C-alpha cells in the first residue's frame, strides 16, 4: 500500500500527471481552447474528488495488486475532476453566480470571455466521458463492464438529476430565474446540496469502488459513505464561508451571506451546523465499518474533509 501519510500527495501527483497526459492539445484541439481548459484545470485545486476515487479503489481492491486497482481507477478519477472543473467554470459565469475570483486567480470568463468559458466547460465534460471510454485500454470483459458502470454513475451524478439539477435549484433560489422563484428551507437546502455537490462527491467514491473491483455490497457501502461525506463537505463549506477570510479561501468570502443565499449556518445556526457535520462523519464511518473498510485510506479522508480550513 502507498504509505498512509503520503497517500494523498502520491495520488494527487498521479492525477495531475494523468490529466496533463490525457487532455487534448494543439493541433488536435485549437490552441486557445487547450489553453483555456488547462487554465482552469491546473489552478491549484485540492483534487478532492479524484482522491476519493483512488482511495475507494485502494480500499476495495482486496487481493488485487494496488498498482492495478489504482491504474484502473485513474481515468475515472480524472473524469470526475474534469466534470468538477467544468462545473466551476460554468457556475462562475455572469449568467450564473457571476464570480470573478477563483482559487486566487481571475475566473476563466474574465480572462477569455464568456463564449470561450462556455466552450471550455463543454469540452471538459466531453473529455471526461471520452477518457473513461478510452482508458484503461483493455478488452478484459470485467474491466469493460466496470467502465460502463462507472460512466453511468458519473454521468447520472453530473446530469439533470444530479449536479446540473442542483445548480438549477440554486439559481432559482438566488432569484435569478424570473417567474420561477424558489425558497430554500430546512428541507429544501440539504436536498439542493445533495444534488449540487453531494451527487458528484458520492459518484467519485462509488466509481472508484467500481473500478477497484469491489463487490456489490462494498460498492453500496462506499456509495453510502460518499453520500454522508458529500453532505458534510457542503456544511463545512458553508461554515468556512462565514468564518474564513477571502485570503484563506482564495475566493470571495462571505459571498453567500452577502447575496442572501441561504446556508447551513443561516438556517440552522453555527453550532447546530457543526453538529450536523459531525453526525454526517459518524454515519460515514459506520458505512465503512459495516464492510470492514474502517481502517482504509477512505476512512481517513473523511477526517481531512471535515477538519479542512479552506
Q: Give alpha helix (H) positions in 42-140.
A: 48-60, 66-92, 108-112, 114-134
Helix (H) or strand (E) holding 95: none
What does the alpha-carbon distance between residue 145 and residue 170 come to, in Å, rounded to a whole number?
35
Q: How near is the Cβ of 273 to its own copies at its closest, in Å?
A: 25
- Least distance from C-beta 182 to its own copies, angstroms? 9
One character per residue 166-205, x = contact with its own copies (rule: CB under 8 A): -xxx-xx---xxx-x-------------------------
Which of 193, 159, 205, 163 shows the shortest CA–CA distance to 50?
A: 205
Counts for the chain of helices (H) and strands (E), in that order: 16, 2
For residue 136, is the peptide bond before it cis, meaning its omega torsion is within 30 degrees of 0? yes
Can you tell me the distance from the alpha carbon of 187 to that of 173, in angstroms, rounded to the nearest whole number?
13
Among 161, 215, 246, 310, binds its own copies (CB under 8 A): 161
- Residue 31's CB: how many other CB atoms inside 10 A? 10
Quick one: DSSP state of residue 195? I
What minimum distance in Å lies between the beta carbon of 1 and its own copies? Answer: 30
Asked if 279 contacts 228 with a C-beta cutoff of 8 angstroms, the reply is no
Q: Residues with Cβ < 8 Å from 220, sequence gap 6 or more?
A: none
By rule CB under 8 A, what count of residues binds its own copies?
59
Window contacting its own copies (CB under 8 A); options: 61-69, 124-132, 206-214, 248-256: 124-132
> Can you tell me which of 104, 113, 259, 269 binds its own copies, judged by CB under 8 A?
113
Between 58 and 91, name the residue whose CB sits nearer to its own copies: 91
Question: x/- contact string, 22-61, with its own copies (CB under 8 A)?
Answer: --x---xxx-xxx--x------------------------
From the list 60-68, 108-116, 231-239, 281-289, the region that binds its own copies by CB under 8 A is: 108-116
Stretch that binds its own copies, among 8-16, 41-49, 57-65, 116-124 (CB under 8 A): 116-124
Name 258's Cβ contacts closer than 8 Å, sequence gap at least 6: none
> Minimum CB separation from its own copies for residue 190, in Å?
15
Q: Considering Cα of 267, then 270, then 275, then 277, what sign does the dihedral take?
A: positive
| Among residues 46, 149, 255, 283, the one that binds its own copies under rule CB under 8 A | 149
Spatial distance between the Cα atoms of 83 and 131, rounded to a whole number of angstroms? 12
262: left (phi over 0), alpha (psi -120 to 50) or beta: beta
Q: Is 115 in the site for its own copies (CB under 8 A)?
A: yes
Q: By CB under 8 A, what part of segment 127-146 binds its own copies? A: 127, 129-130, 132-134, 139, 141, 144-145
Please report, as ranges, the residues that interact with its own copies according to CB under 8 A: 24, 28-30, 32-34, 37, 86-87, 90, 93, 95-96, 112-116, 118-119, 121-123, 125-127, 129-130, 132-134, 139, 141, 144-145, 147-149, 151-152, 155-156, 158-162, 164-165, 167-169, 171-172, 176-178, 180
Amino acid at each position: 500500500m502507498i504509505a498512509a501519510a503520503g497517500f494523498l500527495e502520491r495520488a494527487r501527483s498521479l492525477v495531475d500527471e494523468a490529466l496533463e497526459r490525457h487532455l487534448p492539445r494543439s493541433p488536435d484541439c485549437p490552441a486557445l481552447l487547450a489553453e483555456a481548459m488547462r487554465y482552469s484545470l491546473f489552478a491549484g485545486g485540492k483534487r478532492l474528488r479524484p482522491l476519493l476515487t483512488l482511495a475507494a479503489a485502494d480500499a476495495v481492491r482486496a487481493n488485487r495488486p494496488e498498482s492495478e486497482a489504482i491504474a484502473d481507477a485513474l481515468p475515472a478519477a480524472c473524469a470526475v475532476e474534469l466534470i468538477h472543473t467544468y462545473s466551476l467554470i460554468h457556475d462562475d459565469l455572469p449568467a450564473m453566480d457571476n464570480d470573478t475570483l477563483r482559487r486566487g486567480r481571475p475566473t476563466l470568463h474574465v480572462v477569455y470571455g464568456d463564449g470561450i468559458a462556455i466552450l471550455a466547460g463543454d469540452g471538459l465534460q466531453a473529455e471526461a466521458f471520452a477518457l473513461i471510454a478510452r482508458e484503461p485500454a483493455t478488452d478484459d470483459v470485467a474491466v469493460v463492464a466496470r467502465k460502463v458502470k462507472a460512466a453511468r454513475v458519473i454521468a447520472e451524478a453530473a446530469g439533470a438529476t444530479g449536479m446540473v439539477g442542483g445548480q438549477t435549484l440554486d439559481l432559482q433560489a438566488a432569484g435569478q430565474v424570473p417567474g420561477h422563484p424558489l425558497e430554500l428551507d430546512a428541507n429544501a437546502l440539504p436536498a439542493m446540496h445533495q444534488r449540487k455537490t453531494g451527487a458528484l462527491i458520492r459518484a467519485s467514491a462509488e466509481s472508484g469502488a467500481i473500478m477497484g473491483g469491489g463487490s456489490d455490497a462494498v460498492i453500496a457501502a462506499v456509495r453510502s459513505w460518499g453520500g454522508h461525506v458529500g453532505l458534510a463537505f457542503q456544511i463545512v463549506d458553508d461554515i468556512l464561508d462565514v468564518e474564513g477570510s477571502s485570503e484563506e479561501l482564495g475566493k470571495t468570502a462571505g459571498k453567500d451571506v452577502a447575496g442572501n443565499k441561504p446556508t447551513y449556518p443561516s438556517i440552522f445556526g453555527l453550532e447546530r451546523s457543526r453538529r450536523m457535520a459531525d453526525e454526517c462523519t459518524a454515519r460515514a464511518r459506520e458505512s465503512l465499518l459495516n464492510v470492514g473498510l474502517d481502517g482504509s485510506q477512505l476512512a481517513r479522508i473523511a477526517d481531512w474533509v471535515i477538519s479542512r480550513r479552506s
